[in-house]
């Protein structure tokens, strides 16, 4: 049992199945909160407001009267079986709860690909091992003078008093064999013995949903371990707007969100160190990227100003902070460097994408799209760099899609149309692929794009996104009509039948899901077209389009082009580049030059606020059409 809350009348025991975890939670806590306390992260897109219906659990005991929200989300039979929403059930007495796989947040698969940029490893940090002559009656120099003399006299005395306080012990513990850690020529740490080979740093990409940390050996830039976790702030909503609203409505909101993210970063550090077999005190630096809201929350800065016009951040400059000031558990004298933000909704993660892909180098017309919980677009041409945030929403991460999920085991990530049979007896058939070939649990972003492209092709969906009933569907849809069904008076298309799914329930695409995709892809495409117009360029002139983010790595270019998510750019010019933001953080970790470049680039980017562009709404409406963006359509614009 995890004694999280003290035993007593104010606490109750709650058991989670099939995990076998048992904790004491504060009486009156919701099952969602108790699960988080037990280390079980549930899907909770709406932030616990009973709206999204994603936090489904089975309450084994005690019985509980359903709330209005639960009455909306479950039918009578389900309620009878104990199905409830974790955010609605408050535990007042001992409870037993079963958590189905479909309600859990699963870890995302991380894709790491180099972008071909050559970066020399030259971190600002270095270590020097010194064998100092012990003091004697004929050599009565002070400890610090002895140390500085051995360093050649160019290094100034450390400004840190606590370092001086530790110095006598560190020097004498191993007979005056000592290793000093220098940061940009200043002594930041002194260690007993020879630790010169143990010089590590970690680069972090703090996403709205996922946090990834790269443990890196700073001597040669080698990656020692990669660890990731769900950002535990998801408990308070799946997008930045919900997090900001939590900060502005709850007195403790900012503190709680900062504690959550710092806690997750510490866990990632611990896990990576365990995997790499190193001691966390040998990590001396962290670099951090994230969207503007995430970097604010990480630093404990109120992000409320981001949510109201004119959406300005409190801080855009790069920040260096003592690790212990933030509660980050690395070497107590370690430092955390947060890369600069560009604007309220284009953050340090976009700066990471730029420096990782060399967009700032004058290499023709290049575009990068980072598709995460938001969709940022960056266009580079000649010496200009333009960026916008497209408010694409988290549809590509599975949120707001009825059976959506992130790209984790069991997610339908590919839907293709194939011909089965032979000779003239062939018939089109749907082929579904799931991550890890596991039974289907839901549909992720790339599967969603594929599914809509296929349904468009067979004619089940019109170009405006309407799902057609069997009687109105064209002949090309005939082989698939049995997959069309109606639930609660609404049409849905079955992608995977009960026999293919993990929970025995079919995995379906609804008209509402198609609408969500149209909104998300329309925003991205319109944003890209507006930036291109701004520099008087046409989509066909784009020399390279980089798709960053996990989703960008899995998406099929042909499907994205078929539904008009991207302007008409030849598929061979579209390149998935994995987590480019995280790679940018790594480059800034191993190279002082790249860190300086990040600062310079952030100051150069021209931010384009789409909402103040009169033409944006028309572009957006056009871009919602589920058709390839043809040359003619582009020319009309």
Toward ligand FES, which CB reaches closer, 87 or 268? Answer: 87
Q: How far is CA 25 from CA 18, 20, 173, 369, in A?
A: 18, 16, 46, 43
* Interaction between residue 46 and ligand FES (CB under 6 A): yes
Residue 171's closest CA among 149, 145, 150, 143? 143
Q: How far is the CB of 400 from ligand FES (least distance, A)?
A: 11
Vertex 175, ends 171 and 177: CA angle to 5°? 65
Residue 579's closest CA among 559, 556, 551? 551
Q: How far is the CB of 572 from ligand FES (least distance, A)?
A: 42
Task: Give the number of other CB atoms < 10 A from CB of residue 71.
Answer: 12
Scanning 8-16, 48-56, 239-247, 332-340 for contacts with ligand FES by CB under 6 A, the matching segment is: 48-56
Residues for the chain: how many in total?
637
Toward ligand FES, which CB reaches closer, 74 or 396? Answer: 74
How many chain residues are in contact with ligand FES, going by CB under 6 A?
12
Scanning 44-52, 304-312, 430-438, 486-494 for contacts with ligand FES by CB under 6 A, the matching segment is: 44-52
* Interaction between residue 48 and ligand FES (CB under 6 A): yes
Which one of 50, 100, 459, 497 is in contact with ligand FES (CB under 6 A)?
50
Toward ligand FES, which CB reaches closer, 52 or 264? Answer: 52
Which one of 12, 35, 40, 55 is in contact with ligand FES (CB under 6 A)?
55
Toward ligand FES, which CB reaches closer, 69 or 378? Answer: 69
Scanning 50-58, 315-323, 409-417, 450-458 for contacts with ligand FES by CB under 6 A, the matching segment is: 50-58
Joined tokens for residue 548 = 């960053």
Residue 349's closest CA among 199, 240, 200, 217? 240
Contacts of 194 (CB under 8 A, 6+ apart): 129, 177, 179
Return the residues of window 72-91 that contact ligand FES according to CB under 6 A.
85, 87
CA dihedral 176, 177, 182, 185 (to 10 degrees): 60
Toward ligand FES, which CB reaches closer, 54 or 296? Answer: 54
Q: How far is the CB of 603 from ligand FES (least distance, A)?
A: 40
- H or E element: which one contains 604? helix 592-604
Alpha helices (runs of H) in 283-435, residue ranges in sequence order: 292-298, 323-326, 348-357
Toward ligand FES, which CB reaches closer, 349 or 397? Answer: 397
Contacts of 365 (CB under 8 A, 6+ apart): 379, 380, 381, 537, 541, 542, 543
Q: How far is CA 229 from CA 257, 275, 350, 444, in A?
A: 15, 15, 21, 18
Given the DSSP bridges, would you call strands 606-607 and 384-389 parallel, antiparallel or unpaired? parallel
Q: How far is the CB of 86 from ligand FES (least distance, A)?
A: 6
CB 374 within 8 A of CB 306: no
Toward ligand FES, which CB reaches closer, 37 or 331? Answer: 37
Q: How far is the CB of 73 from ligand FES (least distance, A)?
A: 7
Toward ligand FES, which CB reaches closer, 50 or 358? Answer: 50
CA pair distance 374, 311, nearest whole angstrom: 15
* Interaction between residue 100 and ligand FES (CB under 6 A): no
Return the residues of window 212-251 that contact ligand FES according to CB under 6 A.
none
Toward ligand FES, which CB reaches closer, 50 or 428? Answer: 50
Joined tokens for residue 529 = 């077209």
Beta bridge partners, 449, equal none
CB 343 within 8 A of CB 606: no
Q: How far is the CB of 355 from ligand FES (least distance, A)?
A: 37
Task: For residue 361, report the phi and psi dihedrals to the nearest 5 degrees.
Answer: -80, 145
Which one of 11, 15, 37, 44 is in contact with ligand FES (CB under 6 A)?
44
CA pair distance 163, 37, nearest whole angstrom: 37
Beta bridge partners, 2, equal 23
* Interaction between residue 461 and ligand FES (CB under 6 A): no
Scanning 43-51, 137-145, 211-219, 461-469 for contacts with ligand FES by CB under 6 A, the matching segment is: 43-51
User: Among all chains, which residue has been given the structure tokens 């939670």?
Assistant: 25
Which one of 5, 29, 34, 52 is in contact with ligand FES (CB under 6 A)?
52
Task: Give the number of other CB atoms < 10 A from CB of residue 422.
Answer: 7
Which one of 19, 22, 51, 107 is in contact with ligand FES (CB under 6 A)?
51
Q: How far is the CB of 399 from ligand FES (least distance, A)?
A: 10
Toward ligand FES, which CB reaches closer, 84 or 595? Answer: 84
Q: How far is the CB of 315 from ligand FES (least distance, A)?
A: 31
* Interaction between residue 537 and ligand FES (CB under 6 A): no
Toward ligand FES, which CB reaches closer, 53 or 213? Answer: 53
Q: How far is the CB of 435 from ligand FES (least distance, A)?
A: 24
DSSP character at residue 523:
H
* Interaction between residue 54 and ligand FES (CB under 6 A): yes
* Interaction between residue 109 and ligand FES (CB under 6 A): no
**Binding interface with ligand FES (CB under 6 A):** 44-46, 48, 50-55, 85, 87
């Amino acid at each position: 049992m995890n004694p999280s809350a003290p035993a007593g009348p104010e606490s109750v025991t709650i058991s989670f199945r099939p995990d076998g975890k048992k904790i004491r939670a504060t009486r009156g806590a919701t099952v969602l909160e108790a699960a988080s306390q037990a280390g079980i992260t549930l899907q909770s897109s709406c932030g616990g407001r009973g709206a999204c219906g994603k936090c489904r659990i089975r309450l084994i005991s005690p019985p509980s009267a359903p709330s209005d929200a639960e009455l909306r989300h479950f039918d009578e039979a389900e309620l009878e079986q104990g199905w409830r929403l974790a955010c609605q059930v408050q535990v007042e007495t001992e409870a037993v709860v079963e958590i189905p796989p479909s309600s859990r947040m699963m870890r995302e698969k991380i894709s790491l690909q180099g972008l071909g940029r050559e970066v020399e490893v030259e971190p600002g940090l270095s270590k020097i091992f010194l064998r100092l002559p012990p003091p004697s009656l004929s050599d009565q120099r002070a400890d610090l003078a002895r140390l500085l003399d051995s360093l050649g006299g160019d290094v100034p005395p450390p400004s840190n008093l606590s370092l001086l306080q530790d110095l006598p012990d560190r020097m004498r513990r191993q007979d005056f064999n000592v290793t000093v850690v220098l940061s940009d020529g200043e002594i930041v740490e002194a260690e007993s013995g020879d630790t010169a080979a143990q010089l590590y740093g970690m680069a972090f990409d703090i996403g709205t949903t996922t946090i990834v940390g790269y443990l890196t050996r700073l001597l040669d830039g080698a990656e020692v371990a990669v660890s990731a976790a769900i950002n535990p702030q998801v408990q308070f909503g799946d997008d930045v707007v919900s997090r900001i609203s939590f900060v502005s409505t709850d007195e403790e909101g900012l503190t709680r969100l900062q504690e959550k993210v710092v806690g997750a970063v510490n866990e990632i550090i611990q896990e990576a160190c365990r995997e790499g077999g190193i001691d966390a005190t040998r990590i001396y630096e962290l670099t951090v990227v994230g969207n503007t809201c995430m970097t604010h929350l990480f630093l404990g800065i109120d992000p409320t100003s981001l949510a109201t016009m004119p959406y300005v951040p409190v801080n855009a400059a790069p920040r260096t902070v003592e690790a212990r000031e933030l509660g980050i558990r690395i070497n107590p004298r370690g430092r955390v460097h947060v890369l600069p933000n560009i604007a309220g909704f284009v953050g340090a993660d976009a700066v990471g994408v730029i420096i990782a892909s060399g967009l700032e180098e004058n290499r023709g017309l290049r575009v990068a799209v980072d598709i995460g919980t938001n969709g940022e677009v960056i266009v580079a041409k000649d010496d200009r760099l333009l960026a916008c945030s497209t408010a694409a929403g988290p549809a590509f991460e599975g949120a707001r899609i009825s059976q959506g999920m992130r790209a984790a085991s069991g997610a339908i990530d590919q839907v293709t149309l194939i011909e089965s049979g032979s000779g003239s007896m062939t018939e089109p058939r749907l082929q579904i692929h799931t991550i890890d070939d596991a039974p289907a649990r839901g549909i992720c972003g790339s599967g969603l794009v594929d599914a809509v492209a296929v349904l468009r092709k067979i004619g089940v969906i019109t170009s405006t996104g309407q799902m057609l009933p069997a009687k109105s569907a064209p002949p090309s849809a005939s082989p698939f009509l049995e997959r069309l069904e109606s639930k609660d008076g609404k049409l849905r298309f079955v992608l995977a039948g009960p026999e293919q799914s993990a929970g025995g329930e079919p995995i379906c695409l609804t008209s509402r899901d198609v609408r969500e995709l149209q909104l998300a892809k329309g925003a991205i495409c319109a944003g890209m077209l507006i930036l291109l117009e701004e520099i008087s360029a046409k989509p066909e002139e784009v020399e390279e389009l980089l798709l960053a983010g996990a989703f960008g790595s899995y998406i099929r270019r042909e499907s994205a082009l078929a539904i008009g998510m991207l302007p008409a750019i030849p598929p061979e010019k579209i390149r998935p580049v994995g987590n480019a933001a995280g790679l940018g953080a790594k480059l800034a970790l191993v190279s002082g030059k790249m860190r300086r470049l990040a600062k310079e680039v952030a100051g150069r980017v021209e931010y384009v606020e789409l909402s103040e562009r009169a033409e944006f709404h028309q572009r957006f409406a056009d871009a919602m059409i589920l058709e390839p963006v043809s040359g003619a359509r582009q020319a009309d614009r």
